[in-house]
Amino acid sequence: MSLSLAASNTVQGLRLLFPALIIYFLIILSYGVGAQNSSNVTNVGAIINGNSRIGKEQKTAMEIAAETFNNRSKTHKLILHFRNSSTDPFLAASAAEELIKEKKVEAIVGMETWQEAAQVADLVGNLAQIPVISFAAPSITPPLMQSRWPFLIRMAADGSAQMKCIADIVSAYHWKRVVVIYEDDGYGGDVGMLALLSEALQDVGSKIEHRLVLPQVSSLSNPNWVELEELLKLPTMQSRVYIVFQSSLPTVAHLFRVAEKMGLVGKESAWIITESITSLFDPHETSDISSTMKGTLGIKTYYAKNTNSFATFQKQFQTKYPEEGSPEPGIYALRAYDAIRIIAQAIGRMTSNNSTSLQLLLNTLFSNYTGLSGKMRFEAGEILYSPVLRIINIVDGKRFKELNFWTPDVGFSLEETGKIRDGDAGGVIWPGNLTHVPKGWAMPTAAKPMKIGVPGKTSFSKFVKVDPSLENSDKKKYVGFCIAIFDMVIERLNYSLPYEFEAFDGLYDDLVERVHNKVYDAAVGDITVLADRLEKVEFTQPYMESGLSMIVPAKPEKSTWMFMKPFTWQMWVVSGAILIYTMFVVWFLERPSNPEFGGPLKNQIGTATWFTFSSLFFSHREKIYSNLTRLVVVVWLFVVLILTSSYTANLSSMLTIQRLKPNVTDIEILKRTNSKIGCDGDSFVMDYLQTVLGFKIENIVKVSSEYNYTKEFKSKNISAAFLELPYAQVFMNEFCEGYTSTEPTYRFGGLSFIFQRGSPIARDFTKAILELLENGELKKLQNDWLTPNECPNNVTSNGPESLSLNSFTALYVISGVTSSFCFLLSLAVLGRRFLQQEADQGNASPSPSDETLWNKTVRIARFFYSRELNIPTRAPTFADYAEEWHSPMWDYSTASNTPEHPRTIRPTEIECVQQG
């Protein structure tokens, strides 16, 4: 009984103990699981600007990425701790320090500005040695960035690509001056952007005309922003191309409202905004802000929208975003989403016993990662991929359209790959619904016409003349060649250009300064393009060439030996040599057979000389017996025909054209003799004569009018006058007789019109002037105004030159070769005869070994000279020469020619004997 009772008590105790054990084990198990979960929680700090739209988008994107990871992971949890910095670097650093100490965060992401990122990485990241992922980048990447901030990773590219894109837009539409507008952030963040933009604009031939710094919203005392309106009232600011960057949304909104009120939006104006402002606008958002920005060009970083992952994220984003409507996430939201996803992947690869740090895992993942924001490749904490930018155009208050792409390597293109190129941003709708590209300049209007300065006092009135007496009459007060060109250009412009002339009585350099200082919008006149002037004003295409010409008194050139000038002395020498050589060959060929070349030696020389010289006038009467001589004479007569014709034509030209002989021919003579020279005192020529040519100032006489030059010459006050080529042409056309001019040795830039630097009107004038030059209208206008009279004694043109040997070399070679060929052929035949004779008379003559060289030479010469005169009935032919060369006519060695058998010679045979 007691045993069963004990067993029963035992069972009852076990029943009571078993639930307690189960509860104990559950408590232990729950404690272990909780401990395990607590060890796999990763805290990440996020520092954003909670007051801005970009910050709100980043917060929503990071929450979506963390929530997606936590829903999928059963062993790791990611907890985000947000802090609002309001873009204050010190608040950002303080928030980061608090997150590290209080929340034990293992990474910090965010930082909308580079100042925040640098402060956090410098004061917190390096001390705690935790990764800092920044959504911002510096304008210019510091060279020692990795060594200074080894734990900093930036997900954005620097500003160089964006500034180059803006410069390409400015260059594509030929804008030369821009105005930069930005909001002062108090930390000098604009310095790097301005430096990059200035360098990029300089590469395309443009520059920043003015910088407009806007005050921060917090520093404004007047909510209507009267200060901004006063800042925009810049009377000297001619550019109408505005580039806005680094500004808050309220600042940009009021900027465009004030600009529209002042008429700076539209009317040939252009506005460009950077990505930090473009990202504030949504294509689905209706706002009063974007309605004032119609026609504005913006820049956005391109990202693909046609992927499934983007569609999923966009749906989640539009659900969770606190703002109304259906906003589209921007690039800043996508970078925030990618940053948390990369951190989540790094956490997923970490285990409890893994010693790999989060920093190393992040560096590995960031080295080659493709996310919603694009393909990223990081190395040493720096982004290395080349960003693809997209140009957008704000159409109206409800939407904007996307235009062409832009990449640093290609420029503008129709595809994101950059393979298909295009010349500009694309089909832009400009402010004010302009159908053409804005000039980007303060264009003149009827109420405010363009003010153009005109030289009031000029030395040569044919270029520009201002007649004050015609001011109240119907006739034009401003006349001249330059004014006529200006009128023709105005007619060719495809837009209205209201203007008014104003006479300026100062120096030309002062007129250039007036345009440079924006007193005048332009200057029209005979203004020479010079290097120092080019730095101050914009020149158009020169409408007339320019150079320094010297004018001196001259008298008609008279020369006793004028008849010798048609040929150069080399021509005379070579012609005489050919004549003598031809005379010798004719004498040599004709002497044996022509009785007119017989007799004493002096008669032979006289006959040969007379024959050759008389052939110059085709008056020779001597009969020619040898065909070889005929060949030589025919070629010689052809040479004579060409020479006499050329001589006669050139001599006639020299006698017909009056040639003036200048009194002074060299500048060095003027300087050595300290001669007085004249020039226009109201030009740069006077300084040029001193500094470049080295004339003394006391020897330079200022001449105020073209008619005073003749007075100075006649009174012997000056020995020479130095004028620019256009003025020299007018002077020589007016005073044809008594003066001569030299061709310009020193060239200048030409005559041109001038405009303010960067004025697009200068380019339009250049195009019109080129058209006038190409179609010949400007040349016709120049002839009508400057050289209306045909000067019979135009001494500025060069007279005919003496004929040189180069023109007749081939002719002389043909004559010489023909004569030499005939001479050598005849000489060969005679040599053949001499050898035959030597063979026939070998016994009578001394042996070759006993005869000296001189005696043999004399004997050969006597043989050639003592040829008997034999007049044939017909002239020997080439066949006769050939027959005589191969078969001798007299064969004294044959049996029939021995004394016992003398050869019978018939008269006909005697007549046919070849004698040379």
Is pLDDT at 219 greater than 70 in this prediction? Answer: no
Q: Return the ∠ at Cα 21 (arms to 19 and 26), rounded to 5°.
A: 95
Q: 623, 586, 621, 598: which is closest to 870 by C-alpha?
A: 598
Q: Which of 170-179, 302-311, 426-435, 844-853 has the least mean pLDDT?
A: 844-853
Question: What CA–CA distance (Å, rounded) separates 644 from 356?
Answer: 105
Res 14: pLDDT: 44
Pairing of strands 700-703, 389-394: unpaired
Res 560: pLDDT: 67
Q: Which tops the pLDDT comparison, 601 or 706?
A: 706
Strand ranges inside 700-750, DSSP E: 700-703, 720-724, 739-741, 746-747
Q: 394, 390, 373: which is closest to 283 by C-alpha?
A: 394
Pairing of strands 746-747, 547-556: antiparallel
Res 374: pLDDT: 78
- pLDDT, tens digit, for every residue of 65-102? 899 888 888 888 888 999 988 878 889 888 888 888 88
Question: What CA–CA distance (Å, rounded) separates 913 from 905?
Answer: 11
Is pLDDT at 712 greater than 60 in this prediction? Answer: yes
Q: Say yes or no: do domains 38-156+326-376 and 159-281+283-307+385-413 share a fold.
A: yes
Provide the β-strand partners of residue 914.
none
Res 447: pLDDT: 85
Mean pLDDT of the chain: 77
794 — pLDDT class (breaks 50, 70, 90): very low
- Give the mean pLDDT of 269-295: 74
The CATH number of 159-281+283-307+385-413 is: 3.40.50.2300
Is pLDDT at 847 greater than 80 in this prediction? Answer: no
Strand ranges inside 8-118, DSSP E: 41-48, 77-84, 107-110
Res 861: pLDDT: 64
In the chain, where are the structural domains located?
38-156+326-376, 159-281+283-307+385-413, 450-544, 562-656, 661-787
Provide the β-strand partners of residue 378.
383
Res 29: pLDDT: 41
User: Could you identify the residue written with the tokens 């070679």?
Assistant: 813
Provide the β-strand partners of residue 82.
46
Q: Return the ∠ at Cα 263 (arms to 259 and 269), rounded to 5°.
A: 85
Res 855: pLDDT: 66
Q: Which of 281-285, 307-311, 322-326, 871-875 has the least mean pLDDT?
A: 871-875
- pLDDT, tens digit, for every residue of 42-60? 889 999 888 888 888 889 9
Q: Exposed/middle/buried for 399, CB within 10 Å: 0-12, 13-18, 19+?
A: middle
Q: Which tops the pLDDT comparison, 513 or 869?
A: 513
3-class DSSP string for 520-556: CCEEEEEEECCHHHHCCEEECCCCECCEEEEEEEEEE
- Give the mean pLDDT of 781-786: 89
CA distances from 614 to 44, 61, 72, 589, 821 (A): 118, 112, 122, 18, 23
DSSP 847-881: PTTTS-HHHHHHHHHHHHHTPPP---SS---HHHH
For 592, phi and psi rounded to 5 degrees?
Answer: -70, -30
Pairing of strands 152-154, 132-134: parallel
Q: DSSP letter for 896, please.
A: G
840 Cα distance to chain centroid? 88
Query: What pTM value is reported for the model?
Result: 0.68
H/E run at residue 23 = helix 2-39
- Asked whether 767 and 182 are in contact (CB, 8 A), the reply is no
616 — pLDDT class (breaks 50, 70, 90): confident
Q: Which two tokens stand for residue 804?
A: 């040189």
- pLDDT, tens digit, for every residue of 636-652? 778 888 888 887 887 77
User: Could you give the 3-state DSSP secondary structure of residue 363?
Assistant: helix
Helices (H) and strands (E) in the chain, counts: 31, 31
Q: 166, 240, 232, 180: which is closest to 438 by C-alpha?
A: 240
Question: What CA–CA distance (Å, rounded) separates 128 from 212?
Answer: 41
- Asked whether 271 and 248 are in contact (CB, 8 A), the reply is no
Is pLDDT at 897 greater than 90 in this prediction? Answer: no
Res 88: pLDDT: 83
808 Cα distance to chain centroid? 45
Question: What CA–CA distance (Å, rounded) separates 789 from 795?
Answer: 14
Q: Which two tokens stand for residue 608?
A: 């040969």
Contacts of 732 (CB under 8 A, 6+ apart): 551, 739, 741, 791, 794, 795, 796
771 Cα distance to chain centroid? 20
Q: Which two tokens stand for residue 154?
A: 């930036």
In this structure, the chain runs to a length of: 916
Is pLDDT at 551 greater than 60 in this prediction? Answer: yes
- Give the mean pLDDT of 726-732: 89
Is pLDDT at 520 greater than 90 in this prediction? Answer: yes
- The dihedral region occupied by 656, where left means phi > 0, alpha psi between -120 and 50, and beta the remainder, is alpha
481 — pLDDT class (breaks 50, 70, 90): very high
- pLDDT, tens digit, for every residue of 652-676? 777 666 555 555 667 888 888 888 9
* 99-121 b/e (C-beta count within 10 Å ≥ 16 → b): bbeeeebbbbbbbbbbbbbbbbb
Question: What CA–CA distance (Å, rounded) separates 301 from 162?
Answer: 9
Q: 333, 244, 327, 322: which is closest to 287 by C-alpha?
A: 327
- Asked whether 548 and 722 are in contact (CB, 8 A), the reply is yes
Q: 776, 698, 710: which is closest to 739 by C-alpha?
A: 710
Is pLDDT at 781 greater than 80 in this prediction? Answer: yes
- Give the mean pLDDT of 735-752: 83
621 — pLDDT class (breaks 50, 70, 90): low
Res 669: pLDDT: 84
Range ranked top by mean pLDDT from 394-403, 526-535, 894-903: 526-535
Q: Which tops the pLDDT comparison, 748 or 156?
A: 748
Q: Which of 173-177, 284-288, 703-707 has the least mean pLDDT?
A: 284-288
Res 318: pLDDT: 84
Range ranked top by mean pLDDT from 31-40, 356-365, 678-687: 678-687
DSSP 788-855: -S--TT-TTS--PPPBPGGGTHHHHHHHHHHHHHHHHHHHHHHHHHHHHHHHHTTTTSPPTTTS-HHH
Out of 3.40.430.10, 3.40.190.10, 3.30.470.30, 3.40.50.2300, the CATH code matching 38-156+326-376 is 3.40.50.2300
The CATH H-level superfamily of 450-544 is Periplasmic binding protein-like II (3.40.190.10)
H/E run at residue 660 = strand 660-662
Q: DSSP letter for 455, please.
A: E
Residue spans of alpha helices (H) in 720-793: 725-734, 760-774, 777-785
- pLDDT, tens digit, for every residue of 852-865? 766 666 666 666 55
When computed from its CA atoms, the radius of gyration of the chain, rounded to whole angstroms, is: 51
- Give the mean pLDDT of 27-44: 53
Q: Exposed/middle/buried for 372, CB within 10 Å: 0-12, 13-18, 19+?
A: buried
Res 394: pLDDT: 86
Question: What CA–CA distance (Å, rounded) separates 830 from 852?
Answer: 22
Q: Return the ∠ at Cα 259 (arms to 256 and 264), rounded to 5°.
A: 125
Is pLDDT at 910 greater than 50 in this prediction? Answer: no
- Give the mean pLDDT of 29-38: 40
Question: What CA–CA distance (Å, rounded) separates 362 from 661?
Answer: 90
532 Cα distance to chain centroid? 20
- Asked whether 703 and 459 are in contact (CB, 8 A), the reply is yes
- pLDDT, tens digit, for every residue of 407-449? 888 888 888 776 777 778 888 888 877 778 888 888 888 888 9
- Amino acid at position 538, single letter: E
For 63, phi and psi rounded to 5 degrees?
Answer: -65, -40
- pLDDT, tens digit, for every residue of 331-361? 888 889 988 888 888 887 775 445 567 777 7
State the first-to-last Cα distance of the chain, in angstroms, to the nearest integer: 182
Q: Which two tokens stand for residue 393?
A: 């155009």
The sheet with strand 499-504 has its strands ordered as 499-504, 450-455, 522-528, 751-756, 537-539
